[in-house]
Structure 1
Amino acid sequence: MSSTPTQAPYYYVPEPSRHPIRASLGLLAFGYGMSQWVNGSQWGAYLTGLGILWVLFVLYQWFGDAIAESEGGLNSVNVDISYRWSMSWFIFSEIMFFGAFFSSLFYARNIAMPWLGDIDSHLLWPNFSAVWPNAGPGGLVDTFETMGPWPIPSINTAILLTSGLTVTWAHHALRANHRKQAIQGLALTVGLGFIFVCLQVFEYVHAYHELNLKLTSGIYGSTFFMLTGFHGFHVTLGAIMLAVILRRLIKGHFTADNHFGFEGAAWYWHFVDVVWLGLYLLVYWM
């Protein structure tokens, strides 16, 4: 945001927009296509893909309008405060999202598994062993190997921690009005983010083909892919956000005092880093 508060109205309210209804149609196509796809309809896959492409097209235009408003000097300090609160609540919702998944892991490991392994349950499932990782009652799940912390998860941990440092460097450089350093730091962050995703893809290929670890590999497999998969999606989303901010930074957007677009993306990236640290300890080590 390159405008100053004195140039902007007290609180800018845009005209009624076509974007929400268009995005809703794309989401409807996506949801209906998915429901048909999982039930065996071949055309459901095409409708799902069309819905995704349409939503991305709408978001491109929607964010473009928001950027134009900011660069046009329409966003005052009050709009900036609204953006900050909105991003804060969004990250809070993401905390609750991952909190639910970590809670499911805790419940399966520390509550359900000991309960299923007690004497009463042993009469129903005599072959069940209450140890983690767990594949359920014997014979129901194919044999698999667990994913350890070496080497890819540990390398990815170092990559994400380093990216947290580079995005902080870029932020401080922007605040000091050193745009070249800010661009360099942000470019490094984006590159590290995509390296992380590529290594995770390699890890998944290794898990499927060499460890026989799949989403259907009992509660261990389902919680492993649920947590790491959704985190990988968030890393991808965060890297795309930072790439857009990098493009804007190169074009000359943002000032040392007015750059919440940069800050919001950096907040999100730090959140992704913190979630990974919890995931690295609880999923790969414990």
Structure 2
Amino acid sequence: INIPGHSYHLVDPSPWPFSGSLGALATTVGGVMYMHPFQGGATLLSLGLIFILYTMFVWWRDVLRESTLEGYHTKAVQLGPRYGSILFIVSEVMFLFAFFWASSHSSLAPTVEIGGIWPPKGIGVLDPWEIPFLNTPILPSSGAAVTWAHHAILAGKEKRAVYALVATVSLALVSTGFQGMEYYQAPSTISDSIYGSTFF
């Protein structure tokens, strides 16, 4: 559907929002059933995730077809995904800021409910000079590597861009592995007062 007089693309009716909603519902219900050992919970969770992945594939296929083959993505239309990406990154920053605020507030001014001390009494903590110390430089290094890849792409140096992207993904996998080890070895759980809930 295209009406002359504006630079936006009005999309045709699509089944993908509805199918994505069904996949999200199946994933949510299946996840709850799986965590409260109901029979069929794992199956429903898996089917929901597969349905979401299928919906993502076919929806993005349609978007790519509309933008490249059909040429509907004008400059005004291209701003939408860019603004969406920027807003997503801003929301992630705000989300992390909330966790850092909760952790700082609880550690710098511990309340009477947790004994007035930080970490709360009876909570096992990780040694900051082990895995956290190793993981701290790895995460910014992956950010530096992706910046290197970006500059290499802008300069037209494909080989360097590939090396930089491989370094980025490798560092991200190492960082995620260390984080998983840290969570696995942590002596506390998510239900261990404010410390556990902000850590996990």
The TM-score range, normalised by the shorter chain, is: 0.7 to 0.9
Q: Tell me the alpha carbon deviations over residues 167-197 of structure 1, each in whole angstroms, 9 at most, x when there is no partner.
A: 1111111112222222221221112111111
- Equivalent residue number for residue 51 of structure 1: 48
Q: Tell me the alpha carbon deviations over residues 216-270 of structure 1, each in whole angstroms, 9 at most, x when there is no partner.
A: 3332122211xxxxxxxxxxxxxxxxxxxxxxxxxxxxxxxxxxxxxxxxxxxxx
- Equivalent residue number for residue 133 of structure 1: 119
By relative contact order (CA 8 Å, sep 6+), the higher-ranking structure is 1
SS of the aligned residue for 2:92 comes to helix
- Equivalent residue number for residue 37 of structure 1: 34
Instruction: Tell whether 2:74 aligns with 1:76.
Output: yes
Q: State the alpha-carbon separation in 1 of the partners of residues 116 and 46 from structure 2.
A: 42
Distance 1:153 1:110, change over 3 A: closer
- The structure 2 residue matched to 1:25, chosen from 19, 22, 35, is 22
- The structure 1 residue matched to 2:133, chosen from 151, 154, 175, is 154
Which blocks of at least 5 consecutive residues in structure 1 are unaligned? 1-8, 118-127, 136-142, 226-286
Identical counterparts, % of pairs = 36
Q: How does 1:91-170 map to 2 (within 5 A)?
A: 91-110=89-108, 113-114=110-111, 116=112, 129-135=115-121, 143-170=122-149
Q: State the alpha-carbon separation in 2 of the partners of residues 196 and 60 from structure 1.
A: 28
- Equivalent residue number for residue 3 of structure 2: none
Q: How does 1:105-254 map to 2 (within 5 A)?
A: 105-110=103-108, 113-114=110-111, 116=112, 129-135=115-121, 143-207=122-186, 212-225=187-200
Distance 1:35 1:221, change over 3 A: same
Q: Structure 2 counterpart of 1:100, which letter?
A: A
- The structure 2 residue matched to 1:64, chosen from 50, 53, 61, is 61
Q: State the alpha-carbon separation in 2 of the partners of residues 10 and 176 from structure 1.
A: 32
Q: Structure 2 counterpart of 1:176, which letter?
A: A
Distance 1:65 1:180, change over 3 A: farther
How far has the Cα of 1:91 moved from its partner?
1.9
Q: State the alpha-carbon separation in 2 of the partners of residues 71 and 78 from structure 1.
A: 15
Distance 1:71 1:152, change over 3 A: farther
How far has the Cα of 1:34 moved from its partner?
2.8
Q: State the alpha-carbon separation in 2 of the partners of residues 192 and 69 from structure 1.
A: 35
What is the aligned length? 194
Q: Structure 1 counterpart of 2:42, which letter?
A: A
Q: State the alpha-carbon separation in 2 of the partners of residues 160 and 68 from structure 1.
A: 35
How far has the Cα of 1:43 moved from its partner?
2.0
Q: Tell me the alpha carbon deviations over residues 74-129 of structure 1, each in whole angstroms, 9 at most, x when there is no partner.
A: 42222222222111122222233233333433444355x33x26xxxxxxxxxx63
SS of the aligned residue for 1:42 comes to coil
How far has the Cα of 1:27 moved from its partner?
0.7
Distance 1:174 1:14, change over 3 A: farther
Distance 1:64 1:173, change over 3 A: same
- Equivalent residue number for residue 9 of structure 2: 12
